[in-house]
Amino acid sequence: MGNESYPMKGGDGTFSYTKNSSFQKAASSVAQGLICSAITDKFDAQKFLMSTTSTAPASATSTICIADLGCSVGPNTFTAMQNVIDTIEAKSKIHSQSPQFQVFFNDHTGNDFNTLFTSLPSNRAYFSAAVPGSFYGRLFPDASLHFIHSSYALQWLSKAPEELVNMDSEAWNGGRIHYTGAPQGVVDAYCRQFFKDMELFLDGRARELVVGGMMVLIMPCVPDETVTHSQVPAGIMFDLLGASLLDMVKTGVISQGQVDSFNLPIYGVAPKEMEALVEKNGRFSIEKMELTNPASAVKSTEDSLNTSVSGNAIARHLRAGMEGILSNHFGVDIMDELFDRFSQKTMEFSERFNACHKQGTQLFLTLVKRK
Ligand code: SAH
């Protein structure tokens, strides 16, 4: 469908996503409690299910269908899905219902689904299936899902805006790999791409969810429009990654043109922008919109970000997520040097990290499908 696809590093080796996704896990663990409350307060599973006591409506089902969009290879997706199921189950028991569960794991076709399915928890009490493809297109039949979850995936644009590589455009982004520190034209091009993509995402999901179905989205964000992306942790990482690449231009390992023509297809949304998009779509009500601070959870799991071990851990996490897209453009041969250089910038990272905005850099959004 013309979408670019750069899945996380598959397998279970040193640089795999499986072994290097604890930051995402810590960040989304903040969200697990919020998901429980959202389901408990606003998800009416009993409305969808066949009743054991009264005559069932014709549309009733015995199965709750759940999808995780941008699931990657695990283990975070398993924890999230189990949490959703446990909470729905507990709520259903009160109504003497015991639904079956079907979980659809979605990611790009290039995702390492083999690793995902070979590591499925053996004690799971749900049916599982893969749904490959971009979530910026249709993935499921109309009104076939009851619950949609997506964590740390929607910051990925379908592609980097094309204007960024046009030297005659206001959005020309030479010498940078992202929009941190870039002219307004570049920021605007990124923003336009995000809006285009998110409109497609919301349109698709509005068709696929049943009325009353719930969608929970967890994504990195900037707390408001006045905070630039270079003032949040992810933006700092991308800045230093860009600086590492430019160091390698200086030593002649890669060319300036290679950096000029590369742009990360990633956007950090502001809550107001999401609100505007949901309102424009018009098919969902916003049940909850909350900003949390994932950095505190990450910090407590990783001892301290000031140690060199953590510097390496940051480099490995970034590598697990970014090696696909970077090696596709710059070649696999430079990856070791690139991430070595990146981890040598740990001191700078720590200083900027300590001074940056950490409050409200994770957006938690609960939407319910309207009639
Ligand atoms: N949800 C997991 C994985 C996050 S990594 C967790 O919280 O740990 C982001 C994932 O989103 C990657 O696996 C990437 O391939 C996927 N992704 C990005 N854009 C996508 C798209 N358009 N369609 C489907 N998956 C996408």
pLDDT digits 0-9 by tens, 214-256 = 999 999 998 887 777 778 888 888 999 999 999 999 999 999 9
Q: Whose CA is nearest to atom 19 of ligand 1?
A: 156
Q: Report the pLDDT value the prediction gives residue 210, as an integer from 0 to 100.
A: 96
Q: How far from each other are the two terminal CA atoms of the chain, in whole angstroms? A: 30
Residue range 274-296: mean pLDDT, rounded: 92
The closest alpha carbon to 70, from 275, 284, 354, 321, belongs to 321
Q: Whose CA is nearest to atom 22 of ligand 1?
A: 134
Instruction: Write phi, then psi, for 139 (nearest 5 degrees).
Output: -125, -25
Tell me which of 52-56, 177-181, 190-194, 267-271 is least confident: 52-56
Which atom of ligand 1 lies at the shortest distance from residue 80's CA?
A: 7
Angle between helices 335-343 and 308-330 (to 10 degrees): 150
Q: Whose CA is nearest to atom 7 of ligand 1?
A: 151
Judging by DSSP bridges, how do beta strands 209-220 and 362-369 pair with one another?
antiparallel
Q: How far is the CA of 110 from the centre of ligand 1 (A)?
A: 11
Q: Whose CA is nearest to atom 13 of ligand 1?
A: 72
Q: Report the pLDDT value the prediction gives residue 309, as an integer from 0 to 100.
A: 45
Judge contact between 199 and 276, C-beta under 8 A.
no
Q: How far is the CA of 165 from the centre of ligand 1 (A)?
A: 25
Q: Report the pLDDT value the prediction gives residue 361, as an integer from 0 to 100.
A: 87
Which one of 72, 134, 158 would you pick to mutate in the ligand 1 pocket, going by the greatest count of ligand atoms within 8 A of its CB?
A: 72
Backbone CA torsion sign across 116, 87, 201, 265: negative
Query: Predicted confidence band at 59 (pLDDT cuts at 50, 70, 90)?
Result: low
Cα 24 to Cα 79, 280, 345, distances in angstroms: 12, 30, 21
Q: What is the pLDDT of residues 144-165, one digit of tens each?
A: 999 999 999 999 999 999 999 9
Q: What is the pLDDT of residues 8-46, one digit of tens each?
A: 777 777 777 777 777 777 766 778 999 999 999 999 888
Residue 208 tokens, joined: 């696929």
Q: Whose CA is nearest to atom 15 of ligand 1?
A: 7
Q: How far is the CA of 249 from the centre of ligand 1 (A)?
A: 30
Residue 178 tokens, joined: 């992202």
Cβ count within 10 A of residue 258: 16
Percent of the chain with pLDDT over 90: 64
- Classify 275 as helix, strand or coil: helix
| Domain boundary assignment for the chain | 22-369
Q: How far is the CA of 69 from the centre of ligand 1 (A)?
A: 7
Whole-angstrom Cα distance, residue 207 to residue 245?
42
CATH, range 22-369: 3.40.50.150
Tell me which of 103-112, 132-141, 285-294, 329-338 is least confident: 285-294
Which atom of ligand 1 lies at the shortest distance from residue 150's CA?
A: 1
Please say if the pLDDT value at position 283 is more than 80: yes
Query: Chain-wide mean pLDDT for the chain?
Result: 88
Q: Report the pLDDT value the prediction gives residue 41, as an integer from 0 to 100.
A: 94
Q: How far is the CA of 340 from the centre of ligand 1 (A)?
A: 25
Judge contact between 165 and 260, C-beta under 8 A.
yes
Q: Report the pLDDT value the prediction gives residue 30, as an integer from 0 to 100.
A: 77
Q: How far is the CA of 5 from the centre of ligand 1 (A)?
A: 9
Q: What is the pLDDT of residues 127-146, one digit of tens each?
A: 999 999 999 999 999 999 99
Residue range 88-117: mean pLDDT, rounded: 93
Q: Report the pLDDT value the prediction gives residue 347, as an integer from 0 to 100.
A: 79
Q: Whose CA is nearest to atom 17 of ligand 1?
A: 70
- Enumerate the β-bridge partners of residue 128: 103
What element of type H or E holds 46?
helix 45-48
Q: In what order do the strands lie in the sheet with 284-292?
A: 127-132, 100-107, 63-69, 145-151, 209-220, 362-369, 284-292
The closest alpha carbon to 139, from 200, 217, 78, 81, belongs to 200
Judging by DSSP bridges, how do beta strands 100-107 and 63-69 pair with one another?
parallel
Residue range 99-117: mean pLDDT, rounded: 96
Q: Whose CA is nearest to atom 10 of ligand 1?
A: 70
Q: How far is the CA of 70 from the centre of ligand 1 (A)?
A: 3
Q: What is the pLDDT of residues 288-318, one digit of tens each?
A: 999 987 766 665 555 444 444 466 778 888 8
Which one of 30, 111, 157 would you pick to mutate in the ligand 1 pocket, going by the greatest count of ligand atoms within 8 A of its CB?
A: 111
Please say if the pLDDT value at position 55 is more than 90: no
Ligand 1 pocket list (CB less than 6 A): 3, 7-8, 21, 24, 28, 70-72, 76-77, 106-108, 111, 134-136, 151-153, 156, 158
pTM of the model: 0.91
Cβ count within 10 A of residue 226: 8
Residue range 339-359: mean pLDDT, rounded: 83
